[in-house]
Amino acid sequence: MNHKKSQAAFETAKVRIPGGVNSPVRAFKSVGCDPIFIASAKGSTITDIDGNSYIDYVGSWGPMILGHCHPKVVEAIQSAAAQGASYGAPTELETQLAERVCDAYPNIEMVRMVSSGTEATMSAIRLARGYTGRDKILKFDGCYHGHADSLLVNAGSGAATFGVPSSPGVPEDFAKHTLTATYNDMDEVRRLVMQNKGEVAAIILEPIAGNMGCVPPLPGFLQKLRQLCDDEEIVLIVDEVMTGFRVAYGGAQERFDIRGDLVCLGKIIGGGLPVGAFGGKREIMEKLSPEGGVYQAGTLSGNPLAMSAGIATLDLLKEDGFYDQIEEKSAYLEKGLSQVTGASKIPTCWQRVGGMFCTYFQEGPVTSFADAKRSDLDRFGLFFRRMLDEGINLAPSQFEAGFMSIAHTKENLDKTIAAVDKVLKTLD
């Protein structure tokens, strides 16, 4: 495929934008090529500025579960924009979206809207510290919760892509309050908590780790975490920025029958517009300013365009059979790719939960970030580039999940399976 216009656009961008991108993974460094610049998207496809079209499994990193430019979401955004793009004042739309979120999550009794997933997680942690009077938090190696200072300790996703587990610019005094455990290793979690007994304010995790590929929790892991938090009076923060409304209407907590004290949401609840939220038990949420003393604010929080897009999206997701269709499409792709990869001499491992999935270039299963890092990253980069040439857009990192949308057709899925078969044969 010809990418001359994208290459030129990238060179121009690098003059004014650090690295030419506004989020590091978009630079395509880990896959050994320059990024494509997008001109438009519709349904299951995106089109770059050179006119090349691709079947899209990135979906703006998850929120496009309806596909790009769903007519009802577009209509909701246009209608809201005609009334005003931003007020910095309350609207009824905020309450309407909050009601839908609380309806989907029985453990969310109150919710605060913000403008990004990073805002949601950093605010939830501050709230947990304020509520408990403790300073330390425990997170998991390879789980990514945004770029707040205390969370950039052994992070996954973009940080992992560049081989930098912790970022320069994060003071040691911040990092020392962050304990890091191995995902799915309950014995290590328990040991760290006991070594810091009475000091841990919160445990935060992705219930399905989507920033080291797609790593589901081992049976009983989430339930044991819940019990430990109850026993030690620790706030359990479930980061569903990626999984919320993705793997079920009530997210991973519905799928795995687990309830966090605080929940972080994003992506889908804004219908693709910038949004985030955190919510949970009333007794904790009432500690937030202006009702309580824990300060959190955001001038653009509850933006009317994002609220309108989110309301339209969640109403469509609640329709009967929606998640059954996502499951059927994802299972069809899984079956086809499992047959193709199984016939290949190249070690691969396919993992999926609902409409989230990942193919690792290694033997499986992958249950932790240490496992994920054993993948053949050079081979993945070559695979990515050749799949792009076949018209398939995957996440440009081994450590990112792929996403299914309701707009993907059987023809799309068959083309994807055939492309993987063709590309793998060139990698043998």
**Residue 239 a catalytic site member:** yes
Q: For 343-402, how does the pLDDT look when each residue is reduced to its tens digit (9 = 90+)?
A: 999 999 999 999 999 999 999 999 999 999 999 999 999 999 999 999 999 999 999 999
Measured between alpha carbons, how far is 397 from 380 in angstroms, rounded to an integer?
8
pLDDT tens digit string along 194-233?
Answer: 999 999 999 999 999 999 999 999 999 999 999 999 999 9
Left, alpha or beta for 291 (phi > 0: left; psi -120 to 50: alpha)?
A: alpha
Domains of the chain: 4-69+320-427 (3.90.1150.10), 71-317 (3.40.640.10)
Report how far residue 398's alpha carbon sits from residue 359's, in angstroms, rounded to the nearest whole number.
Answer: 8
Which residues face 111 on adjacent strands?
Answer: 279
* pLDDT above 80: residue 31: yes
Tokens of 152: 């950039």
Decide: helix, strand or coil at residue 86: coil
Annotated catalytic residue: which of 267, 281, 329, 373? 267
Phi and psi at 281, nearest 5°, equal -60, 140
Closest alpha carbon to 218 in 229, 207, 205, 202: 207
Give the pLDDT band (50/70/90) at residue 123. very high
Whether pLDDT at 420 is above 60: yes
Q: Are 398 and 213 in contact (CB under 8 A)?
A: yes
Considering the candidates 57, 105, 144, 183, report the single residue annotated as catalytic.
144
Q: Residue 170: pLDDT band by 50, 70, 90 thresholds?
A: confident
Both structure tokens of 207: 């219930």
Based on the residue annotation, tell me whether 267 is a catalytic residue of this protein. Answer: yes
Distance CA 205, CA 202 (A): 10
**Burial of residue 101, with CB atoms counted within 10 A of its CB: 0-12 exposed, 13-18 middle, 19 or more buried:** buried
Alpha carbons 241 and 265: distance in angstroms, whole number: 4
Which member of 48, 56, 141, 239 is catalytic? 239
Quote the pTM value.
0.95
